Copies of this chain bind each other. A is one copy, B any other.
Amino acid sequence: MEHQVVGKSIPRKDGVQKVTGSALFGADISLPGQLYGAVCRSPYPHAKIKAVHTELARKLPGVRVVLTGADFNKLFGQFIEDQPIIAYDKVRYQGEPVALVAAEDLHTAQEAVRLIEVEYEPLPVVNTIEEALQNETLLHEDWSAYNIVGACHPVPKTNIGDTFTLRKGDVEQGFAESDLVLENEFFCSMLQHTTIETHSALAFADRATGEITVYTPAQSPFIIRGILARAFGVPLEKMRIICTEIGGAFGSKYEAKAEPLAVALALFAKGRPVKLVFSRHEEFQASVARAPVKFKIKTGVKKDGTLLAQQVTIYWDTGAYVTTGPRVNYNAGFAACGPYKIPNAQVDGFCVMTNKSLGTAYRGFGVTEVACAHEYQMDLIAKRLGMDPLELRLKNVLEDGDLSVTGESMRSVAVKECLEAAAKNIDWSNKPLRWTSSTGKLCGKGIACFCKLTGTPSTTSVVIKLNENGSLTILDSSREMGQGVTTVLPQIAAEALGIDVDKVSVSPVDTAFSPYDKTTTSSRSTFHGGNAVLMAVQQIKDQLLILAAKHFGMPTSQMEYENGTIRCKNDATKYIHINEVGESGILKEQPPVIGIGAYGTSDIFDKPDPITHQSQRPTVMWMFGAQAAVVEVDPATGQVQLKTMGAAHDVGCAINPVGCMQQVEGSIIMGLGHALMEEMIYEDGELKNGNMVDYKVPTFMDSDVDLQITLVEKNHPEGPYGAKGIGEPGLAATAAAIVNAINAACGANFNSIPVKPEHILFRKEG
Which A residues have a C-beta under 8 Å from some C-beta of B? Answer: 16-17, 19-22, 30-32, 206-209, 222, 226, 229, 235-237, 271, 457-461, 463, 465, 467-469, 471, 473, 475, 503, 505, 507-508, 510, 512-516, 543, 550, 589-596, 598-600, 602-603, 605
How near does chain B come to A625, taking the closest CB pair, in angstroms? 27
Which 8 pairs of residues, A with B, have the shortest CB-CB distance? A513-B513, A591-B598, A20-B208, A591-B600, A461-B592, A30-B32, A516-B592, A457-B589
> With the chains together, A605 CA to B600 CA distance in Å?
41
Pairs across A and B, CB under 8 Å, 17 listed: A22-B207, A22-B208, A30-B32, A237-B473, A459-B591, A460-B592, A461-B592, A463-B515, A463-B596, A467-B516, A510-B513, A513-B513, A513-B514, A550-B603, A589-B600, A591-B598, A594-B598
User: In the bound complex, what is the Cα–Cα distance between A457 and B592 (angstroms)?
Assistant: 12
Interface SS of chain A: loop
Q: Which residues of B contact A16 (CB under 8 A)?
A: 208-209
Which residue of chain B has its CB nearest to the CB of A470? B236
**Distance of A590 Cα from B461 Cα, bound (Å):** 10
CB neighbours of A460 from chain B (8 A): 592
Most buried by B among A459, A471, A503, A593: A459
Chain B residues within an 8 Å CB radius of A513: 475, 507, 510, 513-514
| B512 contacts A508, C-beta separation under 8 Å | yes
Known: A22-B271, A465-B516, A589-B600. A471 touches B236 (CB 8 A): yes
Residues of B within 8 A of A22 (CB): 206-209, 271
Pairwise interchain contact B236-A515, C-beta atoms closer than 8 A: no
Q: What's the least CB distance linking A485 to chain B, in Å?
A: 17
User: Which residues of B lie under 8 Å from residue A508 when comparing CB positions?
Assistant: 512
Contact B589 A598 (CB under 8 A): no
Cβ contacts under 8 Å, A32 to chain B: 30-32
Other-chain residue from B503, B543, B592 in contact with A459 (beta carbon distance below 8 A): B592
Are B505 and A237 interface neighbours, CB within 8 A?
yes
Contact of A515 among B17, B20, B592, B603 (CB under 8 A): B592
What distance in Å separates the Cβ of A546 from its nearest Cβ neighbour in chain B? 11
The listed residue with most B CB atoms (<10 A of its CB), out of A237, A510, A514, A550, is A237
Determine the distance from Cα of A236 to Cα of B503 in the docked complex, in whole angstroms: 10
- Report which of B235, B236, B461, B471 forms a contact with A237, defined as CB distance below 8 A: B471
Chain B residue numbers with a CB within 8 Å of A598 are 543, 591-594
Chain B residue, CB-CB nearest to A504: B237
Known: A236-B471, A473-B237, A505-B237. A515 touches B208 (CB 8 A): no
CA distance A19 to B30 in the complex (A): 26
Cα A222 to Cα B465 with chains together (Å): 13
A208 contact from B17, B31, B206, B514, Cβ within 8 A: B17
Q: Is A512 a contact of B516 with CB atoms below 8 Å?
A: no
Residue with the greatest number of chain B CB neighbours at <10 A, chosen from A30, A458, A468? A468
Using CB atoms, name the residue of chain B closest to A238: B505
